[in-house]
């Protein structure tokens, strides 16, 4: 018997393989309901607060519409419009919001903000992107791969580019599901060492494999999935020029894709920069599933909210 009620989603390492599989199956079922016009509104009278310290298109719109479709209500709380932007302690905000809401999603820079919010809140806290992790995105990514490939275990996923929040969460999520995750980043831009270590420990238990290499061809070789993300994440914009130089040979393009399996899937969390981390031919080509992936944010997060806040 799996129990999700009242839990937080800070990073996928808090969840077992079986629990992640349940969330993916539930996302697929919730998607099927919606496509068949089945009304599913278990959240009548429930409210989630969405705190944003950074920009968002997908996360905001998918959480807001997802909550509405479930019969509940979502509040968009931009950091500068709430007292957090004027220095109200996170611990106070957490306790106050817990008196009004049934759940909180937060997108913030410091991962500690998510941890602190969860510590002081008595309602579920969902990480909608921190500098360390993006678990909601990876749930949607795993759902997308599962839908297209029919399985996750044993597949090879190559992440080419910045060892950022996406790389971290893909390492953990992929390892949990028994995938071979190969990350290729230039010197100095590798994923967090602690996360690599953790994903290796998880991999030992699930039969997954973790590779970190500076050679993108090695990572992409025979890959079932090629994933990339921007070279300069939110908060790193001023490093754009120096990053363009460092990542120049890490573009996902037709040349690199040649070494992957012919039926590889191309994934990108979006927003993307065509001509930088990915060529137009790849992101707009036949192997790209970026819009299925973006759509699945909606279904995966509905499943997550139902599980945690139900």
Cβ 279 vs Cβ 253: under 8 Å: yes
Kindly provide the b/e burial profile for residues 107-142, where b requires at least 16 CB atoms within 10 angstroms of the residue's own CB: bbbebebbbbbbebbebbbbbbbbbbbbbbbbbbbb
Using CB under 6 A, which of 20, 166, 172, 283 touches ligand NVA? 166
User: For this structure, is 32 an active site residue?
Assistant: no
Nearest residue to ligand CP, scored by beta-carbon proximity: 59
User: For this structure, is 222 an active site residue?
Assistant: no
Candidates 60, 134, 180, 299; catalytic one = 134
Name beta bridge partners: 213. Answer: 184
Q: Which does 57 bind (CB under 5 to 8 A by kind): ligand NVA, ligand CP, none?
A: ligand CP
What ranges make up the beta strands (E) of the chain?
Answer: 47-52, 73-78, 103-107, 125-127, 156-160, 180-184, 209-213, 225-228, 265-268
User: For this structure, is 143 an active site residue?
Assistant: no
Q: Is 194 annotated as contributing to ligand binding? A: no
> Counting contacts by CB under 6 A, is residue 10 touching ligand NVA?
no
> Counting contacts by CB under 6 A, is residue 230 touching ligand NVA?
yes
Using CB under 6 A, which of 82, 246, 270, 272 touches ligand CP? 270
> What is the per-residue binding string for ligand NVA in 58-87, x denoting contact by CB under 6 A?
------------------------------
Catalytic residues: 107, 134, 137, 229, 269, 297
Residue stretches of the annotated binding site for carbamoyl phosphate:
56-59, 83, 107, 134-137, 269-270, 297
């Amino acid at each position: 018997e799996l129990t999700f009620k009242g839990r937080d989603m800070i990073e996928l390492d808090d969840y077992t393989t079986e629990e992640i599989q349940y969330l993916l199956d539930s996302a697929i079922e919730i998607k099927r309901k919606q496509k068949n016009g089945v009304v599913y509104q278990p959240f009548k009278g429930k409210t989630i607060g969405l705190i944003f310290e950074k920009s968002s298109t997908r996360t905001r719109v998918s959480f807001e519409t997802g909550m509405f479709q479930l019969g509940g209500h979502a509040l968009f709380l931009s950091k500068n419009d709430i007292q957090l932007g004027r220095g109200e302690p996170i611990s106070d905000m957490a306790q106050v919001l817990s008196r009004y809401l049934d759940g909180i999603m937060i997108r913030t820079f410091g991962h500690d903000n998510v941890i602190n919010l969860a510590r002081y809140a008595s309602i579920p806290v969902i990480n909608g992107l921190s500098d360390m992790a993006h678990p909601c995105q990876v749930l949607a990514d795993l759902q997308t791969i599962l839908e297209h490939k029919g399985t996750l275990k044993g597949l090879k996923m190559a992440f080419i580019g910045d060892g950022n929040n996406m790389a971290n969460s893909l390492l953990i999520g992929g390892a949990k599901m028994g995938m071979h995750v190969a990350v290729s980043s230039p010197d100095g831009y590798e994923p967090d060492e602690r996360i690599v270590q953790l994903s290796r420990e998880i991999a030992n238990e699930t039969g997954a494999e973790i590779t970190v290499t500076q050679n993108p061809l090695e990572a992409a070789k025979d890959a079932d999935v090629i994933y990339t993300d921007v070279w300069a994440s939110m908060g790193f914009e001023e490093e754009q020029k120096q990053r363009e130089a460092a990542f120049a040979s890490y573009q996902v393009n037709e040349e690199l894709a040649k070494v992957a399996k012919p039926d590889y899937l191309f994934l990108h969390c979006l927003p993307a920069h065509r001509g930088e981390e990915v060529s137009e031919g790849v992101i707009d080509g036949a192997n790209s599933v970026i819009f299925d992936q973006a759509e699945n944010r909606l279904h995966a997060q509905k499943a997550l909210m139902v599980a945690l806040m139900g």
